[in-house]
Amino acid sequence: MQNSHKLWQFRGVSTTALLAFVYLYLPIVVLVVLSFNANRIATLWTGFSLDWYLQVMDNDNILRATRNSLIIASGATVLSTLFATMAALAMSGRRFRGQAAINAMLGLPLLVPEIVTAVATLLFFLALGLELGLTTVLIAHTVFCIPFAYLPIRARLAGLDPRLAEAAADLYAGPFATFRRVTLPLILPGILSGAMLAFIVSLDDFVITFFVAGAGATTLPVYIFGLIRMGITPEVNAVSALLLLVSIVFVVLSYWLGKRQA
């Protein structure tokens, strides 16, 4: 009988995993705690206060950057999810020549370093003579978010029973009617999951936005970077904590929707 060993039973694995989690998440916990610091010096705790969150809500520059982020993230989510859904439907149909190459290209942005994508996108926009601004950021985010929306939708389609479409055809349903009444309701959780992933990726993106945003197109991550260059304050911690909260909510919703049974 073949022996089976669980990974954490090997010596040192549990300790290494614990240290890795502490390294990843302890700074985030410290950031959130210090966002409630009453002291102007971010690293010196003197008491609990919500003043920094109130200042964030009353800061016109932060609100303007947040509005830009929401506009770009919403637009990129709608467009990237639409393109990702069409791509997933095409890739799940009858096999065709070059399908594997196209599938690899759809996932390539996940593997290419983001700085390379940012520089290449900037050069592309300059070659076309486009003026950098919210439009260029929206285009760049849409393209970058397509793989994140595509993967949950493609996984949902891969799990569908092909006999459902065959049964719809036997009942004289055309391709469009089959998609609207059978396929779409079944893959809707995957579409929503992909849309939420695309939204949070766009909302949190800094590198690509920093390169392709022009004047008046400052998003929240870019604004936070500007604040950090002048020194870390509890106000920076408060903005980061709020952005972290939004990210957690959308990631949890994306995971929950992806796990929903049709």
CB neighbours of residue 164 within 10 Å? 14
pLDDT per residue over 160-183, tens digit each?
A: 766 666 676 666 666 777 777 777
Long-range contact set of residues 21-28: C-beta below 8 Å, sequence gap at least 24: 28/244
The pLDDT mean for the chain works out to 83
Question: What CA–CA distance (Å, rounded) separates 204 from 114?
Answer: 13
Annotated domain spans of the chain: 53-259
Q: Who wins on pLDDT, 224 or 161?
A: 224
Give 23-68 pLDDT, tens digit per residue.
988 988 888 888 888 877 767 777 888 888 888 888 888 889 889 9
Within 13 Å, how many C-alpha atoms sit on residue 112's CB side? 18
Chain position carrying tokens 């983001």: 114
pLDDT digit string, tens, across residues 100-144: 787 778 878 888 888 999 999 999 999 998 899 899 999 999 999
User: What pLDDT does residue 5 have?
Assistant: 59
| Domain over 53-259 is classified CATH 1.10.3720.10 | yes
Closest by alpha carbon to 70, among 183, 159, 200?
A: 200
- This prediction's pTM: 0.80
